[in-house]
């Protein structure tokens, strides 16, 4: 029987629209789901919305609508975000779904019947942002550190869950299963919390104070506490207690959350499961927080980053790539649009986009537009070995949830492939008919490397992977997986190669007059970016043309004698647009440090710069008289 994989995201509160924090968790879950599906595992991926509780009731009241209407509206936004971000969730759960309400009541009754719920009185400091009572230790300077607000003192009669009863069991379970909560820093945080005696959990709200919730099965006058309701979504989605899915997927449940909700997931949920006679989930995977411009994202600071804005501006895969590459799983990360554009230009436009476009262009040129037949496999296995190395590193990264490391490994492979092109110089081999067989093998190896790159990228950047595969004639319907990556004859000879548009156009960043940085998407196809240092290697000079004559037997070339502070012979392909007499005395721009080349038997020591116009070429000249030999910067 094939393995199973169950992945969940938190179900998001419907009191505010989605931002990049929500998008990040959902995208990570999607990458995991796609990866496990690709490995042939039975996969179930659930996300959804958390719709009961004070927060929602309050937000609805402010908007002048019923809580249900309010929840419907915002839940629909979260649901609509999924296809926009290419999220492949199998199910979208809402806590207002009828089956969920039934499951919550079923579990409450079970826990009640087990004797783990009692009625009592409690006074405590309640944070409406967290939707829970805070302990004295959690309150900093009289405020909730997460929400920056003073908690409200509330005293009332309520139902309590005997969480304290399971404290020792939970400590043992965490210690005996070191990966139960991961990464380790969060396991340690949970254990630190468990060092103090665990208080029982208040799990009800009197209807006199809050009506928007699930009515307790054993007392009509109370609704369930929102966290007791919400956590249960993870088993409702599987059809607990009798669903087939529950049997298949619950034993392999992987929860994915950010550090803000470690306590409900790491403490409340396992003890609730224990009391209800349900096995604990397998892993709680905890990531850090996205901050924006070095601060916590908040409406009042006006620094909320909206996922759809970024997606629309830069493209979905660039957005997915940035989030996944930039955040070290478990640690906080700072979002800045500048860093995003930087990565887009370097990793996506330069490394990946450039690799794909030049490989396809060369393969179209040297292999008649088709995947070539290779009679004899070329002995070099550099790219196949590199692909295998990337595969094993990617597998290891998925095992320990460090997706950024998987992307680093894939980029190492991309860069080895780029280096392979530079070292093998297909353009030189292309000039020599005797090298045809070698050239064909090199082009085949490069196309196979593109196939490997696309498969490796599939979970992370599904649209890009598809575009690459289409260009090399691979059908998406073929079952593609990591196991088939290093296979040398994986490509079908004769499949058409289709040159596509640039995968990632470069973005130019400009400062506008207000000193705010504005980013502009480049609409022209530019060569990969270079640093100033690289540009400065080109020695450009003002040259004065002293003499000019046509090169015999050529209708294009003119031999020039140019003064650039010293005399040079330069051959220029401008005879169709200039007569020698036109040129004498002109001041022009010369690339002075180009290695000498022989053109139609004449040695040329430099190059003259020109551009096309509708009426032919024009050489670059000046509108003020420069010094001969002056540097052009
Ligand atoms: N409704 C509860 C979760 C119940 S799960 C049984 C909740 N909702 S939430 O809308 O506040 O979502 C919190 C989650 O959204 C975080 O755990 C994380 O997955 C994601 N993020 C929200 N803001 C985030 C950042 N700034 N950075 C990273 N992820 C964050 O809590």
- Residues contacting residue 568 through CB under 8 Å, at least 6 positions apart: 543, 561, 562, 590, 592, 605, 606
Q: Which two tokens stand for residue 556?
A: 């294009």
Structural domains in the chain, CATH included, are 4-287 (3.40.50.620), 334-496 (1.10.730.10), 535-631 (2.40.50.140)
Strand order across the beta sheet in which 201-202 lies: 132-134, 117-127, 152-161, 201-202
Q: Which two tokens stand for residue 602?
A: 């004449």
**CA distance linking residue 150 with residue 142, whole number of Å:** 6
**CA distance linking residue 604 with residue 595, whole number of Å:** 9
**Top mutation candidate among 7, 12, 78, 292 for ligand 1, by most atoms within 8 Å of CB:** 12
**Ligand 1, CB cutoff 6 Å, lining residues:** 10-13, 21-22, 24-25, 50, 230-231, 233, 257-258, 260-261, 289-290, 297
Note the pLDDT tens digit of each residue in 435-453. Answer: 999 999 999 999 999 999 9
Question: Which residue's CA lies nearest to atom 23 of ligand 1?
Answer: 21
Query: Residue 342: pLDDT above 80?
Result: yes
Quick check: is 283 catalytic? no
Q: How far is CA 472 from the centre of its chain?
A: 24
Query: Residue 522: pLDDT above 50?
Result: no
Which of 52, 55, 100, 144 is labelled catalytic? Answer: 144
C-alpha distances (whole Å) from 63 to each of 66, 71, 396 are 9, 11, 48
Q: Which residue in 133, 155, 159, 160 sits closest to 144, CA to CA? A: 133
Query: Residue 517: pLDDT above 90?
Result: no
Quick check: is 147 catalytic? yes
**CA distance linking residue 492 with residue 439, whole number of Å:** 18
Q: What is the CA(400)–ligand 1 centre distance, in A?
A: 21
| Residues paired with 477 in a beta bridge | none
Nearest ligand 1 atom to the CA of 265 is 6
Query: Residue 594: pLDDT above 70?
Result: yes
Q: Which two tokens stand for residue 561?
A: 């004698």
Quick check: is 404 catalytic? no
The torsion angles phi and psi of 372, rounded to 5 degrees, stand at -75, 160
Q: What is the CA(168)–ligand 1 centre distance, in A?
A: 28
Q: Which residue has the tokens 């000079």?
A: 541
Quick check: is 311 catalytic? no
**Top mutation candidate among 8, 10, 225 for ligand 1, by most atoms within 8 Å of CB:** 10
Query: Residue 525: pLDDT above 60?
Result: no
Q: Which residue in 380, 381, 409, 414 sits closest to 396, CA to CA? A: 409
Instruction: Give the pLDDT band (50/70/90) at residue 532.
Output: confident
For range 104-120, the mean pLDDT? 97
What own/partner pairs with CB < 8 Å and gap ≥ 24 does 127-130 have?
A: 127/151, 127/152, 128/54, 128/55, 128/58, 128/152, 129/55
Which of 3, 175, 211, 296 is labelled catalytic? Answer: 296
The torsion angles phi and psi of 257, rounded to 5 degrees, stand at -145, 170
């Amino acid at each position: 029987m094939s393995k199973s994989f169950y992945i969940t995201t938190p179900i998001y509160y419907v009191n505010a629209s989605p931002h990049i924090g929500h998008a990040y968790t959902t995208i990570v879950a999607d990458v995991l789901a796609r990866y496990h599906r690709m490995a042939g595992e039975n996969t179930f991926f659930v996300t959804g919305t958390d719709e009961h509780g004070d927060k929602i009731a309050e937000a609805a009241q402010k908007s002048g609508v019923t809580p249900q209407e309010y929840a419907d509206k915002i839940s629909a936004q979260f649901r609509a975000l999924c296809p926009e971000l290419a999220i492949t969730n199998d199910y979208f759960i809402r806590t207002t779904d009828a089956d969920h309400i039934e499951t919550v009541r079923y579990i409450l009754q079970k826990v009640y019947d087990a004797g783990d719920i009692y009625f009592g009185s409690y006074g405590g400091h309640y944070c409406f942002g967290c939707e829970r009572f805070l302990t004295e230790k959690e309150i900093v300077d009289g405020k909730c550190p997460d929400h920056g607000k003073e908690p409200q003192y509330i005293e009332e009669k309520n139902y309590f869950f005997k969480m304290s009863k399971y404290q020792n069991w939970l400590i043992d379970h965490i210690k005996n299963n070191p990966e139960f909560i991961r990464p380790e820093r969060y396991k340690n945080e949970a254990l630190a919390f468990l060092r103090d005696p665990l208080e029982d959990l208040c799990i009800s709200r009197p209807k006199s104070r809050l009506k928007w919730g699930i009515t307790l099965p054993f007392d009509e006058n109370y609704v369930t506490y929102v966290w007791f309701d919400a956590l249960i979504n993870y088993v409702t989605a599987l059809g607990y207690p009798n669903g087939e899915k529950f049997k298949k997927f619950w034993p392999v449940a992987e929860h994915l959350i950010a550090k803000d909700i470690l306590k409900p997931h790491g403490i409340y949920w396992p003890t609730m499961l224990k009391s209800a006679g349900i096995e604990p989930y397998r892993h709680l995977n905890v990531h850090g927080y996205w901050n924006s411009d070095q601060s916590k994202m908040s409406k009042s600071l006006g620094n909320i980053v909206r996922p759809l804005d970024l997606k629309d501006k830069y493209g979905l895969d660039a957005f997915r790539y940035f989030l996944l590459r930039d955040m070290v799983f478990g640690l906080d990360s700072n979002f800045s649009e500048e860093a995003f554009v930087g990565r887009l230009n370097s990793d996506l436009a330069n490394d990946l986009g450039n690799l794909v476009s030049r490989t396809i262009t060369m393969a179209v040129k040297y292999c008649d537009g088709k995947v070539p037949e290779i009679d004899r496999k070329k002995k070099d296995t550099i790219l196949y070995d590199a692909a295998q190395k990337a595969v094993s590193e990617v597998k290891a990264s998925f095992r320990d949830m460090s997706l950024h490391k998987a992307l680093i490994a894939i980029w190492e492979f991309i860069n080895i492939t780029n280096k392979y092109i530079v070292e093998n110089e297909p353009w030189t081999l292309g000039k020599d008919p005797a090298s045809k067989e070698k050239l064909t093998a090199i082009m085949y190896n490069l196309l196979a490397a593109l196939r490997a790159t696309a498969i490796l990228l599939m979970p992370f950047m599904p649209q890009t992977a598809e575009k690459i595969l289409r260009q090399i004639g691979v059908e998406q319907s073929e079952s593609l997986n990591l196991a088939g990556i290093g296979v040398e004859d994986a490509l079908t000879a004769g499949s058409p190669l289709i040159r596509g548009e640039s995968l990632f156009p470069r973005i130019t960043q400009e400062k506008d007059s207000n000193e705010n940085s504005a980013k502009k998407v480049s609409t022209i196809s530019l060569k990969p970016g270079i640093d100033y240092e690289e540009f400065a290697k080109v020695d450009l000079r003002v040259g004065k043309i002293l003499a000019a004559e046509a090169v015999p037997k050529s209708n294009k070339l003119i031999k020039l004698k140019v003064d650039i502070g010293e005399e040079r012979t330069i051959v220029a392909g401008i005879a169709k647009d200039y007569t020698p007499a036109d040129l004498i005395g002109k001041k022009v721009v010369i690339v002075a440090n180009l290695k000498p080349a022989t053109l139609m038997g004449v040695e040329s020591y430099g190059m003259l710069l020109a551009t096309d116009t509708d009426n032919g070429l024009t050489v670059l000249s000046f509108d003020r008289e420069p010094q001969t030999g002056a540097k052009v910067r």
